[in-house]
Amino acid sequence: MSKLYSGAEIVFKCMEDQNVDHIFGYPGGAVLPIYDELQNFKSIKHVLVRHEQGAGHAAEGYARSSGKPGVILVTSGPGATNVVTALTDAYMDSIPLVCISGQVPTHLIGTDAFQECDTTGITRPCTKHNWLVKDINDLAETIHKAFEVATTGRPGPVLVDIPKDIQFQKTNYKKPKKENKLNGKSHNHFNKNSIDQLIDLMSKSSKPIFYTGGGVINSGPKASELLRELVYATGFPITSTLQGLGSFPGDDNQFLGMLGMHGTYEANNAMHDCDLMINIGARFDDRITGKIDEFSPKSKKVHIDIDPSSINKNVKVDLAIVGDVKTVLSSTLKSLKQKKSKFLKSNKQKTSKWWEKIQKWRSVRSLDYIGSEETIKPQYAIERLYELTKDKDSYITTEVGQHQMWAAQHYKFNKPNRWMTSGGLGTMGYGLPAAVGVQVAHPKKLVIDIAGEASVLMTIQEMSTAVQYNLPIKIFILNNQYMGMVRQWQELLHDKNYSESYTAALPDFVKLAEAYNCVGIRAKTPEELDDKIIEMLNTDRPVIFDCMVDKVENCFPMIPSGKPHNQMILGPKDQENKKITGKGKSLV
């Protein structure tokens, strides 16, 4: 007879077989048997966070930067409810997470026991699927299936709730089954015919654009390579959503920058005026489309997505290709080479007028801002940070708000999996714990959380985690003392009624850093900024960088409320003549 293992042992046996090397968690009554076994599984390292939300975001950062699922271990009741924000965040941004939660013993379920909550009920709408394991004989199979659901198709979070008595009971261990199809649900539903149609549309188009999203990143590094190949082979312009940044080089001439509410003038106008839009792994989110009735009125739309429910959800498309981005792109390239080997040449003339138009939009220089010699402009701070780190293969996380948009606009990404930001849910407090997770996955790399002072305070306790595990993350705070994006909307749309958007009693971030036993650096003037950033980069410990920036700077360009892509606000018009160009700014 084979050896019997306890439920707690089986949890770790499963993780071993799923190649898990790090888990993020916080112990508590209902998971004590699992924590008791931790020491017996040396290949699995536990990262102790300071709050379960931090465990969730750290696992997200780990997953997004490594391509592997992030694993979370939390206790019942408050442990599980604290992780809900992170699960919802991962659900919105399609990040694979496996959350193991403890539950009160089965005989106490439903009695309002201490630290009991209906975890599977609460997390049902924010996971791809969840399980309450009531029979020890189902445990191994359930955990293996959880990993499969989280990582296949459109990735996302899953949760396995394990009552404490199940953790003690013993049974045989079952290895993962290889061919375990999810009710026969496969992910590629396209045929050659639709690829031919796509190539036909591409060869007829004179005003094409690629609109790419997080699906390219999720499809793996190969998908980004294929995307580059396709974009270069066609000579078409390309724009990206917030989540897609890095799948195509940010400094390439064919790249028009990010699109959407705070996207570039050229990207949004090109989306509006194009005659062919090829959406690859993006979902026509409302921050992207603006006013939906007037969204790109003259174009044929192609949508490549792994999730059939994304097709025709917000925008009706002319050609839908349901499949994994990598597979679709590889078929497209193959057909393109066979049929139209001289595509680029024949196409150049056809799209030359389109490129001229794009150059005109580009010449507006919509990301420019008014420089200053006295105060640090937040855009300037990001630009300097980029210039001083661009050769380092750095990983950037962000919180949510103005700083996030400025980071997306001014930091250029050349590789996938280098940019971790909360897009769909817009979770303030995401960036710091995410940076912890990224640094765990990439101990030798430079990891920076571009933060706002309001966001970062929501999960600041995770500095303690960073210090405990010697994770030299850099928290680069653009400190304007306001919830900047809230303040901006209040200024532009609520008659400057700055209701509760100013934080009157902020901590001294340098002293706070010292309290956490890490390093605090403050920059107050543009003059000293470079030296201070270099000081930060040369510090091999966690750093909180308090960058005191202009308090009332707004994030432009912006598509105002209820407006289509071609009606952007570019910036404070009266000061237009003071605008300085990109190179000039480094003199400030």
Partner 1 sequence: MPNSKSAYSFSNKKEKFDTHIIVVWVDNETGVLARVVGLFSGRGYNIESLAVAQVDEKLKISRITIVTTGTPQVVNQIKLQLRKLVPVHKVADFKREDKAVIFKEMALFKIVGPNNKLEGALKACKKYNPVILDKTKKSNVIQITALRREIDKMSKDLKKFGLVSVSRTGAVAMTRGADIFK
- Applying CB under 8 A, the residues found at the interface with partner 1 are 120-121, 124-125, 128-129, 132, 134, 149, 182-183, 185, 286, 290-293, 307-309, 311-313, 316, 489, 493-494, 561-562
Q: Smallest distance, Å, CB 142 to partner 1?
A: 11
Residue 351 CB neighbours (<10 A): 18
- Closest contact distance (angstroms) between CB of 141 and partner 1 is 13
Smallest distance from partner 1 to CB 8, Å: 23
Minimum CB separation from partner 1 for residue 132, in Å? 7
Q: Which is nearer to partner 1, 469 or 489 (CB)?
A: 489
Give the Å distances, CA to CA, from 524 to 17, 379, 425, 545: 51, 15, 32, 11
Cis amide leading into 557 (omega within 30): yes
Are 545 and 476 spatial neighbours (Cβ–Cβ below 8 Å)? yes
* Nearer Cβ to partner 1 (524/563): 563
Q: b/e per residue, 447-457, with b = 16+ CB within 10 A?
A: bbbbbbbbbbb
**Contact present, 570 and 548 (Cβ < 8 Å):** no
Minimum CB separation of residue 34 from partner 1 in Å reads: 22
Q: Shortest distance, CB of residue 129 to partner 1, whole angstroms? A: 4
Cβ proximity to partner 1, 241 vs 479, nearer residue: 241
Considering the complex, what minimum distance in angstroms separates the CB of residue 554 from partner 1? 14
Which residues are known to be catalytic? Answer: 52, 114-115, 164, 485
Count Cα atoms within 13 angstroms, Cβ side, for 193.
Answer: 4
Buried b (16+ CB within 10 A) or exposed e, 459-484: bbbbbbbbbeeebbbbbbbbbbbbbb
CB count within 10 Å of CB 200 equals 13
Question: If you count them, how many residues does the chain have?
Answer: 588
From the CB of 104, what's the least distance to partner 1, in Å?
16
Residues whose CB falls within 8 Å of the CB of residue 36, separated by 6 or more in sequence, listed in order: 8
| Minimum CB distance to partner 1, residue 477 (Å) | 26
Q: Alpha-carbon distance 501 to 196, whole Å?
A: 53
Decide: 546 and 478 in contact? Cβ < 8 Å: no
**Dihedral over Cα of 230, 233, 234, 239: its sign:** positive
Q: Which of 252, 253, 255, 153 is nearest to 212 (CA)?
A: 255
Strand, helix or coil at 509? helix
Distance in Å, CB of 494 to partner 1, minimum = 6
Identify which of residues 132 and 440 has a Cβ nearer to partner 1 in the complex. 132
Residues 165, 139 contacting (CB under 8 angstroms): no
Q: What is the DSSP string of 262-327?
A: T--HHHHHHHHH-SEEEEES----HHHHSSGGGSSTT-EEEEEES-GGGTTSSS--SEEEES-HHH
Residue 81, judged by CB atoms within 10 A of its CB (0-12, 13-18, 19+), counts as middle
CB of 515 to partner 1, least distance (A): 38
For residues 519 and 513, is the Cβ–Cβ distance under 8 A? yes
Residue 499 tokens read as 């209701």
CA distance 279 to 321: 10
Please give the Cα distance from 398 to 483 (Å, whole number): 15
Q: Which residue has the tokens 């949510």?
A: 400
271, 239 contact by CB (below 8 A): yes
Sheet strands (E) in 400-504: 419-420, 447-452, 474-479
**419 phi/psi in degrees, rounded to 5:** -130, 110
